[in-house]
Amino acid sequence: MKKKMVLCTQLPAKRMEELEKECDITIAGELKHGKGNVTEEMVCEECKGYELVVLGDENAGADTLNKWIESGMKFIGVAKGTPVTVDNEVLKAAGIPLSYTPGRNRVAVAEFNIGLMIAVARKLTLSATGLQKGEHLGEPMADIYNVPDVKNVIWGPLDENHPYTDYGIGFELYGKKLGIAGYGAIGREVAVRAKAFGMEILAYDPFVAKEKIEADGAIAVDLDTMLKESDMISIHLPVIEATKNSVNKDWFSKMKPTAILINTARAAVIDQKDFVEALQSGQIAGAAIDVYWKEPVPANHPLLSMRNVVCTPHMAGLTTDVDNWSGEMMAQEVLAYLNGDERKYIWKR
């Protein structure tokens, strides 16, 4: 007999075909009603009485979970990188493991992170937005398509009117040292991509085996070495007691004055005041930031008007591909449960 499964998040079409052979699947939650259109009460009712419950962003607190458990739930999955939307204490007490999708947007964040590194190193956003704002433009032309047939259009001479005197001259990533703080899912993806750019990788993560880091061609170092030697430092730490505000004036005092800090992790790992002061005083040379202490970032935040800082509005983890990664990982968890195999992605916290 087929098992009963309720699905609130998209799974890849090919996996759906496989699952439909073994399960009767009911669509519910945001997958049925659209993003942001469901309450916990609705989801609680819709998902009651199923052996397998697969959620996306839906909330499930203790009462909801207890109802599902009483009505026969044996598998629960949440297609999120941090499934805090579900009360895991209740699940632990009932002996039901919680499947989730860790690192589902690691490629998205890593590619964006490399983009930020290049943007800050090469004054890319400064010059691109400068042009859009009307800086360094030529006179308007009646017919922009009617230009003289010159073989080699060059902007010159490279004098005080040239954009580089305004935006500054960038540097190449090639041959520079990149410090990675936190060599987890995202830190590693950044490292292997930066290596392809010819960077030397100094990884600081006391919880990852040296051999694992070295297998990627990176060098495992202690914190002080990473801070002192890196030309760029990219932060990929989780927010836990030990990391909160850990990137502070002590860090900045050990970094090179020419060094650049990249943060696509979470703002809470950086001491905000120390960071702003280090950038204002020139203690460090620049930064690229995707995450803030309050989001959306307040309009008067000093980082927004610093020419040595690239700011993006918490965009690193969002791509049109992430749902596929997430759905594939979740489908594998469901299939492992159905086949009685060991599941790979179990939330432990």
Ligand X SMILES: NC(=O)c1ccc[n+]([C@@H]2O[C@H](COP(=O)([O-])OP(=O)(O)OC[C@H]3O[C@@H](n4cnc5c(N)ncnc54)[C@H](O)[C@@H]3O)[C@@H](O)[C@H]2O)c1
Positions marked active-site: 266, 295, 314
CA 206, CA 274: separation in Å to the nearest integer? 24
* Chain center to CA of 38: 26
Q: Does 237 bind ligand X (CB under 6 A)?
A: yes
Nearest to 168 by CA among 110, 115, 123: 123
Structure tokens that stand for 261 in this block: 């800090």
The binder of ligand X chosen from 75, 100, 167, 183 (CB under 6 A): 183
Residue with tokens 């309720």: 6
Rg of the chain over all Cα atoms, to the nearest angstrom = 25
Q: Does 274 bind ligand X (CB under 6 A)?
A: no
The binder of ligand X chosen from 184, 271, 278, 338 (CB under 6 A): 184
Q: Does 296 bind ligand X (CB under 6 A)?
A: no
The binder of ligand X chosen from 77, 97, 179, 182 (CB under 6 A): 182
Q: Does 325 bind ligand X (CB under 6 A)?
A: no
Nearest position to ligand X, beta carbon: 184
Q: Which is nearer to ligand X, 264 or 308 (CB)?
A: 264
Q: Please, are residues 294 and 154 in contact by the beta-carbon 8 Å criterion?
A: no
CA 9, CA 43: separation in Å to the nearest integer? 12
Choose one: 7-15, 158-166, 183-191, 211-219; the region binding ligand X (CB under 6 A).
Answer: 183-191
Q: At closest approach, how far in Å is the CB of 240 from ligand X? A: 6
Q: Which is nearer to ligand X, 60 or 180 (CB)?
A: 180
Q: At closest approach, how far in Å is the CB of 157 from ligand X? A: 42
Residues 129-161 as b or e (16 or more Cβ within 10 Å = b): ebeeeeeeeeeeeeeeeeeeeeeeeeeeeeeee
Q: Does 241 bind ligand X (CB under 6 A)?
A: no
Instruction: Identify residues 70-129 at the interface with ligand X (CB under 6 A).
Output: 81, 103, 105-106, 109
**Total residues at interface with ligand X (CB under 6 A):** 31
Nearest to 22 by CA among 65, 55, 51, 56: 51
The DSSP line for 94-118 is HT--EE--TTTTHHHHHHHHHHHHH
The binder of ligand X chosen from 185, 219, 276, 306 (CB under 6 A): 185
Q: Which is nearer to ligand X, 97 or 103 (CB)?
A: 103
CA 57, CA 78: separation in Å to the nearest integer? 8
The binder of ligand X chosen from 30, 46, 290, 333 (CB under 6 A): 290
Q: Which is nearer to ligand X, 167 or 204 (CB)?
A: 204
The binder of ligand X chosen from 232, 236, 251, 270 (CB under 6 A): 236
315: CB partners within 8 A, 6+ apart:
112, 290
CA 133, CA 306: separation in Å to the nearest integer? 16
CA 335, CA 15: separation in Å to the nearest integer? 9
The binder of ligand X chosen from 205, 231, 271, 333 (CB under 6 A): 205
The DSSP line for 156-216 is ---STTSHHHHH-----STT-EEEEE--SHHHHHHHHHHHHTT-EEEEE-TTS-HHHHHHT
- Number of Cα atoms under 13 Å in the Cβ half of residue 44: 14
Q: At closest approach, how far in Å is the CB of 135 from ligand X? A: 29
The binder of ligand X chosen from 36, 144, 207, 299 (CB under 6 A): 207
Q: At closest approach, how far in Å is the CB of 230 from ligand X? A: 14
Choose one: 4-12, 153-161, 192-200, 233-241; the region binding ligand X (CB under 6 A).
Answer: 233-241
Choose one: 62-70, 125-133, 313-321, 325-333; the region binding ligand X (CB under 6 A).
Answer: 313-321
Choose one: 58-66, 172-180, 213-221, 312-320; the region binding ligand X (CB under 6 A).
Answer: 312-320
Binding residues for ligand X, rule: CB under 6 A, are 81, 103, 105-106, 109, 181-187, 204-208, 236-239, 242-243, 264-266, 290-291, 314, 316-317
